[in-house]
Structure 1
Amino acid sequence: MREGPGFTESGAFGRRRLLATGAGAAFTLKGVRFPGSPPGPEDPPDRSEVVRGVLPPGAPDYVYLPVEVGPGVRELHVAYRYERPATPAGTPGNALDVGIFDERGTALGGKGFRGWSGGARTEFFLRADDATPGYVRGPVRPGTWHVVLGPYTVAPQGLSYEVTVTVRYGPDAPAPAVSYPPERARGRGRAWYRGDCHLHSWFSDGRRTPAEIAALARAAGLDFVNTSEHNTHAGHGHWAQHAGDDLLILTGEEVTTRNGHVLALGCDPGTFVDWRYRARENRFGRFAREIRRAGGLVVPAHPHATCVGCNWKFGLGEADAVEVWNGSYATEDEVALQAWDAALARGRWTPAMGSSDAHRHPDPVGTPQTVVLADGLSRREILAGLRRGHSYVAESSAVALSFSATGGRGVTAGIGERLRVPGDTPVTVRLTATGVPGCSVRLVTDQGVLHTAGPVGADGATEVRWHTTPRYATYVRAEVRHPVTVPGVPGRMAAFTNPVFLGYGEGVLGDA
């Protein structure tokens, strides 16, 4: 057992070296070393080292503990704990995340990543045939590994931590074969498909298994889901058996930076996207390009969430879509919707999505869900529909919408498309909705809400028509809302559409 390096009275790490990575800089502690040869017959089969230290307020985003691993190690096990002192009201307490990189190093975006559990677990292990959920199984090769500590928040008293590293010797067990979900399900040809693209299982900080999530997705009437564990791709190889002709499973990641979260949606299985940077470092563009090279979409998640580090600060310049509705509709979703609409009015077209962000019971899977028009139920076709904004968001599979604009000689454009007619052409906007009893309809343009209708009768079905011109409204979108419960505040959302764009336009808004 050793007393690990910590900060001195001057505020610097003892015996430290500066490592240029992550948020400007990270610190590497004095490490632990295990003997270069396996134990003899009289020695215990396991060896452990304990490191203790204190991180002050203002500690670096990431602190690395080197672990020198010799030959013959079968399994690496890490356990950690830290103090959680009381703090004044309104002051964050201690929260410490953990993960690990192997002997290939900690370079940003490099190949050394072997797992992350954030603050969801107090211990983890890795070996050739198995690993803790969230960690990548594989042999424990000789070299310098790094346990990474992430002080998410630090109390005014500082964060006292203890890390125990154990190596277990012996031969590796055979590694099981890895299979990934198929990229196509049977589908219904060109149709509207329902999906939930933001879900967490026990491979990050969720509590459900992939089997449980797949069963809940089917019960919610979903056609596809996207795996989105925090900062790890380790679960990708555990979903194949839960896919089927009726359920397409896409693989992705929720990239959880200190300046907001972004979904890497529908990437090639096995794709890892690094998260160790802040907006001021101007590195996000590199990782957005990596997501696209892996076939995925870049989707900022809950951009106006109020939790520490959740509010999106990288802008929408790299976004393929944006998650406007996250989980049960709340104030932060209303703020996100209004910010998205304001961007539309300024000429920035970023398709809107909605997802459940479900973690555990009783979080409902598929509330809300994105309903996308696609040529088939495949990864390529679903992502193409989402990228084009041919989609709407609904609170459940009970809600169905049809929304279009018709003008000129019967020319019609649907959601995410442009109706290309002269500015003075009469246009008829038509919405049909089912499954929305008691709700009201609002038609929203760049000028704001220009038409309302409702409430809908007990059968939950309605049809709304509105007449306009492209000169009067450059776009129109629909909202279906539950009754108002707080005077002056719009009712809770039941569904909303992406816009239909009207007129020839001057930019690239809508389908070109």
Structure 2
Amino acid sequence: MEIISKLSLNRWIANEEEKTYIEVPFAVEGQIERIEVEYTYERSDGTAVIDIGLRSPERIVGWSGGARNSFFVGLDKATPGYLAGFIPAGEWYVLLGAYRVPEGGCRVQINLKLVHNHPRWMKGDLHMHGVHSDGSYSIADAIQSGKDRGLEFMAFTDHNNASQNLSTLAADDQLVLIPGVELTSYKGHANLLGQLDALDDFRVLTPEHATTTLQRAVDKGALVSLNHPFDPDCPWELGFDVPYDAIEVWNGPWRPLNEAAVRWWQEQLVSGRKLVAIGGSDTHRPDPYVAHGTPTTYVRAKAESKEEILRAIRQGRVVLSFNTDETFIDLSIGKAGVGDTAIVDKEKEYELVVKINGAAGDKVQLWSDRGLEQEWIVANEGIYSFPVEVDRLFYRMESSRHLTDLDLTITSCLTNPIYIQRLTVGASV
């Protein structure tokens, strides 16, 4: 749930202060992800002109002059003319520029909203290409496409290049932009996300070389995913003992290569491995079936920032849906959600709560390390609950839909697991 602190500030500006800059202080406390500012003043006769900007404890972070009545700054999003970035605690200042002040003075009303960090599901796309490799989208066109599709973050992953990341240095006001690159070799593809220049050489042809190259990316802070590992045209042939954080089980429209990836992933989970499943559209150009956000990667992040999005992915807080406004399934066992580990006592009873949105008519399946546990057709979206078997390693959900016009059954949603850990003797939850 969003937590907001609201402040209302007033500043009377006398005529004698014309052509000066005035600082109106306010306090920032705790973990803040966004500061929103709006202001008003009496300007009916056209005499008064009061400019506005913002200063952090360290520096001026933006200036609108008289062009805007409101603006915001966030961790990785900001109004044009303002710098996104870390929001430190301390004394901040709304800057007022007393450009023209009437003889009788002018009162300025400032309203502030401070949005605290809070968990929420964000939807985005982690795999795409444009004119910086073999796609047709410019950076601006890709961003607009993402906005039109209702996305909240996008990762730019052109083949073997970092130039696209240098073209997205300015923060957008609607999307969190994540730098990336797709390592594209003759032996397989992998995305390196979160760093401007994570790849120094893409010519990877042996498992040993892949290990060295991917480890350098990890050391730089990049999140590594192995892409479409069972694609018959470009499979991952460098082994699964290399450094990586996630596996792309859903690439573009639902196809047999994705089914093979999910089966392999399920085997890894059954073996006791906690491996994060992600998706990406792999969009290159406008296409009736391959589009930004198809599939949509939902990430439960604590703030609207690339750092928190990537942290949540590493934690497995990811749900995949076949489109931006389609089936979405969330899971919980007590306070544990998707990607978390529920600590259970074999002497107690627990419920797995399943929340389903937008899935009427879909076939929904509950999976564990024992295989398929439950299956039903959703008549209405809503909340379902099941008793937790404490001897399971995990629970996860899938849903599927038959597309009559194409005579094709596709996966409509797939969640990462909630893991189960039994309480050891003598310990307490």
Q: After superposing the two structures, state which structure 1 stretch, 393-402 or 378-387, moved more.
A: 393-402
1:365 corresponds to 2:292: yes
Secondary structure in 2 aligned to 1:225?
strand
Structure 2 unaligned runs (5+)? Answer: 1-73, 79-114, 425-429
Aligned residue identity for 2:138: T
Q: What amino acid is aligned across from residue 252 of structure 1 in structure 2?
A: G
Deviations 1:61-93 (A, max 9, x none): xxxxxxxxxxxxxxxxxxxxxxxxxxxxxxxxx
In the TM superposition, structure 1's runs of 4+ consecutive aligned residues that sit over 6 Å from their partners are none
Q: Which residue number corresponds to residue 378 of structure 2? A: 455
In 1, the alpha carbon distance for the partners of 2:254 and 2:403 equals 13
Q: Which position in structure 2 is the counterpart of 1:301?
A: 227
**Cα contact 1:196–1:356 (8 A) shared by 2:** yes
In the TM superposition, what is the alpha-carbon distance from 1:452 to its structure 2 partner? Answer: 1.1
d(CA) in 1 for partners of 2:167, 2:296: 23
Q: Please, which moves more after superposition, 288-297 or 321-330?
A: 288-297
Q: How does 1:279-318 map to 2 (within 5 A)?
A: 279-280=206-207, 282-307=208-233, 309-318=234-243
Matched, 1:335 2:253: no
Q: 1:436 to 1:404 in 2, by over 3 A?
A: closer
Q: 1:380-404, CA deviations, whole angstroms, 9 ceiling, x for partnerless residues?
A: 1111000000111111221363533
Partner residue of 1:375 out of 302, 310, 314: 302
C-alpha change, 1:380 and 1:343, in structure 2 (3 Å) is same
2 CA distance for matches of 1:342 and 1:210?
A: 38
Q: Report how far residue 311 of structure 1 moved.
A: 3.1
Aligned match for 1:355, one of 280, 298, 302: 280
CA contact 2:344–2:423 (8 Å) conserved in 1? no
Q: CA deviation at 1:432?
A: 1.3
Q: Can you list the C-alpha shifts for 1:446-496, whole angstroms capped at 9, x where unaligned? A: 111100121334xxx23322223111x2210011211387xxx99411111
- Report the counterpart of residue 38 of structure 1 in structure 2: none
Whichever residue aligns with residue 306 of structure 2, its letter is R
Cα distance, 1:504 vs. partner? Answer: 2.9
After TM superposition, the score normalised by the length of structure 2 is 0.68
Percent identity between matched residues is: 25
Q: Distance in 2 between matches of 1:500 and 1:397?
A: 23
Structure 2 residue 382 is the aligned partner of structure 1 residue 468: no
CA RMSD, Structure 1 to Structure 2 (Å): 2.4
Give the equivalent residue in structure 2 for 1:69: none
2:327–2:412: 8 Å Cα contact kept in structure 1? no
Q: Which has the higher contact order (CA 8 A, sep 6+)?
A: 2
The AA in structure 1 aligned to 2:397 is: A
Would you say the 8 A contact 2:331–2:355 is kept in 1?
A: no
Whichever residue aligns with residue 137 of structure 2, its letter is R
Tell me by how many angstroms 1:235 deviates.
1.8
Contact 2:154 2:177 (C-alpha < 8 Å) held by counterparts: yes
Do 1:227 and 1:252's aligned partners in 2 also have CA atoms closer than 8 Å?
yes
Q: How many residues align?
A: 311
Q: Which residue type is aligned with residue 383 of structure 2?
A: E
Equivalent pair of 1:207/1:360 in contact (CA under 8 Å) = yes
Do structure 1's residue 444 and structure 2's residue 360 form an aligned pair? no
Q: Which residue pairs with 2:401 in the alignment?
A: 482
Secondary structure of 2:422 counterpart: coil
Structure 2 Cα separation of the partners of residues 475 and 250 of structure 1: 30
Measured after TM superposition, the shift of residue 239 of structure 1 is 2.1
Counterpart among 154, 164, 178 of residue 225 in structure 1:
154
Q: Please say if 1:214 is aligned against 2:143.
A: yes
What CA distance in whole angstroms lies between the structure 2 residues aligned with 1:424 and 1:443?
23
The one-letter amino acid paired with 2:410 is R
Q: Which residue of 2 aligns with 1:260?
A: 188
Q: Distance in 1 between matches of 2:278 and 2:217?
A: 18
Do residues 386 (structure 1) and 306 (structure 2) align? no
Q: Among residues 491, 494, 504, which one is paired with 2:412 in the alignment?
A: 494
Q: Deviations over 1:214-259 (max 9, x none)?
A: 0111111111111101111122221235x41210111111001221
Deviation at 1:184, TM superposition (A): 1.2
Q: Give me the whole-angstrom Cα distance separating, in 2, the residues matched to 1:220 and 1:484.
A: 21
Q: Which amino acid aligns with 1:296?
A: A
- Contact 1:439 1:481 (C-alpha < 8 Å) held by counterparts: yes
After superposition, the Cα gap between the structure-2 partners of 1:290 and 1:413, relative to the gap in structure 1 and judged at 3 Å, is same
Task: Provide the rounded CA distance (Å) in 1 between the counterparts of 2:348 and 2:244.
Answer: 33
Cα distance in 2, alignment partners of residues 387 and 250 from structure 1: 15
- Of Structure 1 and Structure 2, which has the larger fraction of its residues in strand? 2
Return closer, same or farther for 1:452/1:263 CA change in 2, 3 Å cut-off: same
Residue aligning to 1:249: 177
1:417 is aligned to 2:340: yes
SS in 1 for 2:275: coil
In the alignment, the residues of structure 2 paired with residue 229 and residue 205 of structure 1 have an alpha-carbon distance, to the nearest angstrom, of 8
Render the CA deviation track for 1:355-402: whole Å, top value 9, x for unaligned: 100001113110002111111111211110000001111112213635
Q: Output the TM-score relative to the length of structure 1.
A: 0.57
Q: Partner of 1:420: helix, strand, or coil?
A: strand
Q: Equivalences for 1:388-403 in 2 at 5 Å?
A: 388-399=315-326, 401-403=328-330
1:179 is matched with which residue? none
Task: Provide the secondary structure at the position in 2 that maps to 1:503.
Answer: strand
Aligned pair in 2 of structure 1 residues 505, 330: CA closer, same or farther (>3 Å)? farther
Counterpart Cα distance in 1 of 2:323 and 2:187:
30
